[in-house]
Amino acid sequence: MRAFTTLTGIAAPMPLANVDTDKIIPGRFLKTIQRTGLGKHLFANMRYEDDGSEKPDFVLNQEPYRQAEILVAYENFGCGSSREHAPWALLDFGIRCVIAPDFADIFHNNSFKNGVLPVKLPREICEQLMEDARLGANSRITIDLERQVVVRPNGEEIPFTIDPFRRHLLLNGLDDIGQTMQHAPAIDGFEAKQRAAQPWLYDAKV
């Protein structure tokens, strides 16, 4: 996973609540067996007409938002399914940070695993950032994960909170499977005890 330290970029405004994972990446695009290549299908139903041409009103079809690296949205972003294709599609498009008042749990989790940073900020602040984002190319937003601040185009710094463990993994681009494998002896011990107490949980055969 690519480390996330600081990011300064164009932010796309998406003033919608409940942006669900079917909006982010519709089910018909989940047939891939790869993590990459989904960027062209990001927000497909909102972004393209039935004939595949772009809908000019959709934010990511407009300049400078085709280069957006940040997305600003409203409540309950990423609700719906567990599809990790949602952060994969965002990342493949080039979006590495989503700012919203809150996120659905599984999407929130999945984002961290892929180096996409979800930043939770109160609705009023998201509204201000939405206005900043609407100003386009000359209004870049910075996310500084090291210092845990979002820097508005006017220089104002807005602190945000984040789970320290996840921050550590992101800053260093660490894979958490490797971390967990360090606990292998404890896992062995747990299994030995559980196997003795509940043997039916082991050796299922279809």
Partner 1 sequence: MSATKPRTLFDKIWDAHVVEALPDGTAVLYIDKHLTHEVTSPQAFEGLRLAGRKVRRPDATIAVVDHNIATDASRYGTIEDPESRTQVETLEANVKAFGIPYIPLTDKRQGIVHVIGPELGLSLPGMTIVCGDSHTSTHGAMGALAFGIGTSEVEHVLATQTLLQKPAKNMRVRVDGKLPAGCTAKDIVLAIIGKIGTAGGTGHVIEFAGEAIRALDMAGRMTVCNMSIEAGARAGMVAPDQTTFDYVKGRPFAPKGEAYDRAVAWWKTLPSDEGAVFDKEVTLDAATIVPQMTWGTSPEDVLPVTGSVPNPADIADEARRAQVQRMVDYMGLTPGQKLTDLKVDVVFVGSCTNSRIEDIRAAAAIAKGRKVASHVRALVVPGSGLVKEAAEAEGLDKILLEAGFEWREAGCSMCLGMNPDKLKPGQRSASTSNRNFEGRQGMGGRTHLVSPAMAAAAAIAGHFVDVRDYQPKEGV
Q: Please report, to the nearest 10 degrees, the dihedral formed by the alpha carbons of residues 72, 119, 96, 132 taken in order.
A: 30
The smaller minimum CB distance to partner 1, of residues 10 and 73, is found at 73
Q: How many residues does the chain have?
A: 206
Q: Running DSSP on this structure, what letter comes out for residue 59? A: G
Q: Shortest distance, CB of residue 12 to partner 1, whole angstroms? A: 18
The smaller minimum CB distance to partner 1, of residues 5 and 190, is found at 190
Tell how far CA 102 is from the center of its chain: 12
Q: Shortest distance, CB of residue 116 to partner 1, whole angstroms? A: 11
The smaller minimum CB distance to partner 1, of residues 67 and 194, is found at 194
Interacting residue ranges for partner 1, rule: CB under 8 A: 15-18, 20, 22-23, 26-28, 30-35, 45, 50, 74-76, 79-84, 87, 102, 104-106, 109-110, 113-114, 163-165, 175-177, 179-181, 183-184, 186-187, 189-191, 194, 198-206
The smaller minimum CB distance to partner 1, of residues 171 and 186, is found at 186
How distant, in Å, are the alpha carbons of 38, 82, 93, 151, 187 from that of 86? 9, 9, 11, 26, 31
Q: Shortest distance, CB of residue 151 to partner 1, whole angstroms? A: 26
Which of 134, 119, 136, 115 lies closest to 77, judged by CA? 119
Q: Shortest distance, CB of residue 66 to partner 1, whole angstroms? A: 23
Q: Shortest distance, CB of residue 138 to partner 1, whole angstroms? A: 27
Q: How many CB atoms lie within 10 A of CB 153?
A: 16
The smaller minimum CB distance to partner 1, of residues 154 and 177, is found at 177
In our burial notation (b when 16+ CB lie closer than 10 A, e otherwise), range 79-110 reads bbbebbbbbbbbbbbbbbbbbbbbbbebbbbb
Which of 72, 107, 71 lies closest to 86, judged by CA? 107
Q: Shortest distance, CB of residue 90 to partner 1, whole angstroms? A: 13
Q: Please report, to the nearest 10 degrees, the dihedral formed by the alpha carbons of residues 48, 53, 57, 59 taken in order.
A: 60
